[in-house]
Every structure is written in structure tokens, then in C-alpha cells.
A and B are shown apart, each in its own frame.
Chain A
């Protein structure tokens, strides 16, 4: 398969404007300007391009639902606040090919007839954000961004915002607050950002991987995009594989590629003599899958059918030297620390879960703790304000189901059975 999104990426020496154009970059601008905005939205919808940031919602449908008659100004936000543990695809896109991102933002903003765009970059990627700013300057000087782009009467301003940190800023409505200089708590779901978003105006937010597909779809068509996938998937997907594999890395492969192929062919499989315990298919806030799920196509619907989520398409691999209780505790500590603190079930509930897991992992758990963890998860997830806490309890609930005997053995024996083994796999 020919790489589409990673073709020109070079983290150490990203293409400048001239080199990117020589390699065919920015060709999609003419393809876009030759069409009416609604035609582009139809093509993106027909391509079945689904959100690569975790939610998997149809990009074209999202754009169409905002409405062609939405009040002005309209905003487009490109989300590069990648902070989901196990996920590093957007870092490669940002550091390796800033002009590809700018091209994608221009044609997407044109389709939405949005005159303002913000590219939101996580603070830990500040160096990549600087590279993006330099590329943006080149594009502005060349007249690719600004007023009357390409003599087409389309005006677009792009701002690069580098965040001050924190996982929650990647949440769509928390990001609006972050850009406005407010405390980045998530906002109520109604009114939707597509109606009242940034500064109260219609705002569309897409993950950067979603957007960089758009120029290619414009140039090659919806049918071409369909044909890139396998097992019913559409397009390519930037898969990350990390954890207990020989060669962790980023792999651009057909959407729908199996987890087995990703882990055992592309990421080099496990260390000699190890067996697979399980894996997270889509980052830290997805449910664990087990070895029996290895042949599930890594695409939105099949992974959901298997009881988890494709999420960011980032597989985190656990082998038989890994203590699943320790891993779940690590995830819960992450979420407890990253809670924005706005609502009580999340702010107080997640540290409580982490505390119980700490005791179990240390061999100090009680028999009734497992039922307590389940009961608390059932309360905390649905009662909290945004999708953060439901995401936080998802791996815990699946871990309690899939790795039950490991929890029971910690409690029954009063110790971690993996302590003797070197679980760090050195």
C-alpha cells in the first residue's frame, strides 16, 4: 500500500514550502476552489471519512450539520492537543509535515466557508508548534493564507495556539475556553459548538489526522478513499503500536487492518517466549481487548462490536509479564490527575478509585473491593459532566472483567504475583 498521509513526512527535516509544492503540495487548493463548498462537503461525506481523534463521527456529516447559512464569523479548529496515552500520530504529522496541515486547514475552511481557523497544539509539542508557525508564515507570504486566496475571493486567517498543558484541553468545548483565555473546563453540550462555539459563533472542530485526509479525498475522489481500506474500512489510518512489543512505532495502513497484523508483523511482535495478555485498541480511555480479539479489523464499527472503541487507533500491548492491575492503576492515576476538577463525581471519584486500586496492587485489597470498584464506576461515569470520567472508568470496568483472576489472586495471596518477575521487561 502506498502511504498517503505519511508519504512526505520527515520529523527531522520537514519540507519547506518550495519543496512541499515541488512534491505536489497545495494542489488541492485549485481542486477545492473549482468546486462549490457544498460539493466538497458531499464528497467528504461520500468518502465516509470518520473522525480520527477518537469519536469516529462522520466528518462530512458534521460539516453539513453546521449549515451553509450559519452566522458569521465561522471558526474551524484543528485539534493537535494529542495527549491520549499511547498516541503519537499527530506528533509525527506536526513535526514531520506542517505544510500538509496548513493545506488541509485551507481547503477544509473553504468547504465550511469559515474565515477564521485556530490550530491548537499541545504545549509539550511547542517545538512542533514553532515549526508550524514558520510554515504558516511562508504560506502567508506566498498568498496561500490571507485575503482573496488564489484570487478566489476567499479570506482565511489562521492562528497557531500553543496550549499551557493538561489533557482536558483536547475536549472540544474545554478547548474553546482555553482559546478564549478562560479556565478550560468543558462547557455544557447544548448549545452545540456548531451553533455557539468560539466567542459564541459557529465552530467546527476536527482532529488533525481527519483534516489531512481532506486534500487527498478532493484530489482523488470518494471511491479512491473507500478502496484504500480493507475489511470494510475506508481510507488509511495512522496506527500507533506501543507497550510490550519489539518495535513500537507509527504505521500508516489500511483502515480495517487487524490488530494481529499490527502487533505481530509491523511492530515486531512480543519479546521471545512471551505471550499476549491483552491490549488497549484505541488509547488509554478504551476498553481492554483480549487475545481472542486479535483478528478484529481495526475500524470503528468492528472494534465497537468487540466491546471497545477504535479511539485514536493506538494499540497498547500487555504481555504475560505485565501486571494488569498495575497497568489499570497507572491509567487511573493518570485520569485522577488530569481531571479538570469542575464536577465532583470526577474530581473526587477518580482518586477514590485510584486509592482502592493502589491497595489491591500492593496486596492490601479486600474481597469486597472489586464490587466497590464496579459500583463506583457505575456511579462516576454517568453522573459526571463531560466524557472524561466515562472514558476513565472504561478501561477499569473492562480490566475487572477480562483480568478478574489477576485481581482475585492479588487479594487472596496478599501480594502482586508479578513482583518476582521483571515486569518492566528489561
Chain B
């Protein structure tokens, strides 16, 4: 009898918690829904009261205007190039450095790691001016590569992957060495496959971070054609244009690529966020 009562209570709790979760999910998704549907309306329909929850007439003219009046496609490709290439390079450098800090024994390893990781405490904004001067000296201003190189080696990537390498048993590495594998082969063929989940998490987290890196991309990409999507769309938002739907279309264009990336790599993203939450 008590068991039945407990089961009923549990079921009621499940129903209640599901309702709460759904409520908050809808609350979070609604702005996205509103953004997307408004971008398909005429400007006057966006501000209509009572509002049209679903567009009465669909129009893609706002998207056409975004792509016709601004080099939005160019901005999208620029963003993909900058975020994609810097992330691939970051994964390469971070995995090698993390492996060295985790598995190789050398003098001053711990001190070096602490110094390296302490750079995480310095906000990027503090380094903007010196970094800009360096970019200037290398001729990287107004150049997409100027947005990439400062992102190819970060303490965060090393810190994150070191944790994964630490959890890989040393015995595997030793066995590989006994079997005659060199350091490079051990790294590439034995250790790297083990930390693949970490690499996936780093890839997606860094991709998102670089994609949204507004300030650095603003100061480096000065020509209209050199802007990334985030900077370009932010500029578009400053345009004294009374067409709300046009701005909504711009914001949607900025949001969609990231949504696709998130849906494709959802598992890595959530894993990346939960790293360190559970001690194994």
C-alpha cells in the first residue's frame, strides 16, 4: 500500500518537474521563436498589438535585404574560416602541450604549468592593445589571419586536455614504449584516441568562443569585407533603420550557424560544460 502511495507521489513529482522544465524550456526558446518569426514579417507586423504569434504573411524580403545591402555571406564565410581554422590549430597545439605537461617528466614542469594556467586569470581585454601592436608589426591588421593567430594557443585548451591525459593510464604509454613506439607515435596512436572526447569538447567550446569573439575581431577586421558575422551584424544593428524585421533577419542570420553547430555537436558541448562536475 505504502509502495503504491510512494509510486504515485513519485509520478506526481515527475509530472510536476516535467511541467516546470517544459515551462522554462518554452521561456528560453520563445525569444528565438519570436526572433525567427518576426524576421519573416513586415516591419509593421512586428510591432502590431495584439501581436501575430504566427506571421500572417511570410516574406523573405528582409533576408534578401540583409544579403543585398550587406556582405553578409562574406561575413559568414569569414566567421567560419576564423573559428574553424583557429580551433583546428588550437586543438593541435593544446593536445601536444597537454600531453607534455601530463606525461613527460621534465624539470620545472609543475611551475611552468602553473605559470601557463595563471594566464587564464588575465582578461583578454587587458591584452588588446599590446596584441594589436604585435598584429600591426606582423601586418595582420585587416587580415583574417590576425583574428586567428592569437587564438591558436590558449591556456584553457591545455588545462582542459591535461585533465583528460591525466586520466589516461600511464601503463598504456609505458607498454607502447616497451613495444618500440616512439614518443610521436605513442602520442598520435595511443594517447590521442583516448582523449578524443576532450578534443571534441575543446573543439566545440573554442569554436563558439572564437565565433563570438567580438572585440578582437572588431579592431582587426576594419574593412567592411573583412568583418566577421558577429561584428557585421552588430554594425547592422546600429544602422538607423526603422525596419525591425530587417534587424531581426540580421540577428537570425547570426544565430543560425551557431545553432547548426550546436545541434551537430551537442553531445560534445554538454560534455565540455560538465567536465569537472563529476570526480571519477
State yes or no: do A and B come from one complex: no
B residues near A, CB below 8 A? none
A residues near B, CB below 8 A? none
